[in-house]
Amino acid sequence: MFPIRNARALVAVLSLLVLAAPGASAQAAPVAKDANLLIQQGRALVDSGKRAEGYALFEEAVAVCDAELAENPARMDSYVVKGWALFRLGRYREAVAVGEAGLKVKFDARIVENMGESYFFLRDYAASLRNLQRYIDNSGEYAERVSTAFFYMGEIYQVQRKFEHADIAYAIAVQREPNMARWWFRYGNAVEALGEKERARGLYEKALKLAPAFAEARDAVARLSAPAAPATAP
């Protein structure tokens, strides 16, 4: 027989083991959700064709970030991730507003880059360029989103018909991220607009190699590979 003091100790230990057992999980405190993980899971669902399910996770990520910011209004990661989730939902003005609120707390290059992309889809190209350039200036040459920033800069320059600028921006984008078929295609568009058809065809061929079912790239290669029509007599 245990002395009474040891028996009580044993009961206490057994109580702790019961609380830690699988059957006690319903009484355990809920595990905090990771908003960034929710976004990653949502993107995977959207990419697989499950758009509604993916968007539901983006909405959940926004709610998680709101709860975090209610608890700590200076939590920068929450501003960042909320902006990403709003961008994925197509709520670009809200993404910009969240970014501006976050930047009042502290500068964060990730926020600036997301604002640059959001402004692009709002067709405020001046603000988009300004934020994308600010991101590049503050993040270093090989930061995670530098290639994407240069791609959007190329898109803006192409809309503005500044094809020489677009040529440079796209070149940097595909150098940093060479496996994006659409980027090579858009690069080809800019080069073709400059009148450099052979170089453009090579860029379209790179896009087609990466994505053999890319119909636009295939049509562009066929168009630029066709023999020139014979000159007609005057």
Residue-wise pLDDT for 117-163, tens only, equals 999 999 999 999 999 999 999 998 789 999 999 999 999 999 999 99
Check residue 140 and give its pLDDT.
81
Check residue 91 and give its pLDDT.
98
Report the share of the chain in percent with pLDDT over 90. 79
**pLDDT 10s digits, 161-179:** 999 999 999 999 999 999 9
Do residues 207 and 182 touch, judged by C-beta distance below 8 A?
Answer: yes
Mean pLDDT of 68-81: 97
CATH hierarchy code of domain 140-224: 1.25.40.10
**pLDDT 10s digits, 15-42:** 433 333 344 344 444 456 899 999 999 9
Cα distance between residue 106 and residue 128, in whole Å: 20
Cα distance between residue 119 and residue 115, in whole Å: 6
Cα distance between residue 186 and residue 205, in whole Å: 12
Do residues 102 and 81 touch, judged by C-beta distance below 8 A?
Answer: no
Residue-wise burial string across 96-107, b where 16 or more C-beta atoms lie within 10 A, e elsewhere: bebbeebeeeee
Task: Take residue 172 and report the two structure tokens written for it.
Answer: 């940097």
DSSP state of 29: P
Nearest residue to 201 (alpha-carbon basis) of 191, 209, 211 = 191
DSSP state of 21: S
Which residue matches tokens 């119909």?
A: 215
DSSP-derived 3-state class of residue 34: coil
Q: Where are the domains of the chain?
A: 33-124, 140-224
Q: HEC profile for 90-157?
A: CCHHHHHHHHHHHHHHCCCHHHHHHHHHHHHHCCCHHHHHHHHHHHHHHHCCCCCCHHHHHHHHHHHH
pLDDT greater at residue 25 or residue 217: 217
**pLDDT 10s digits, 49-64:** 999 999 999 999 999 9
Cα distance between residue 181 and residue 211, in whole Å: 6
Class of 33-124 in CATH = mainly alpha
As a whole number, the mean pLDDT across the chain is: 88
33-124 and 140-224 have identical folds? yes
Check residue 228 and give its pLDDT.
65
Task: Take residue 65 and report the two structure tokens written for it.
Answer: 């970030």
Check residue 229 and give its pLDDT.
58
Check residue 230 and give its pLDDT.
62
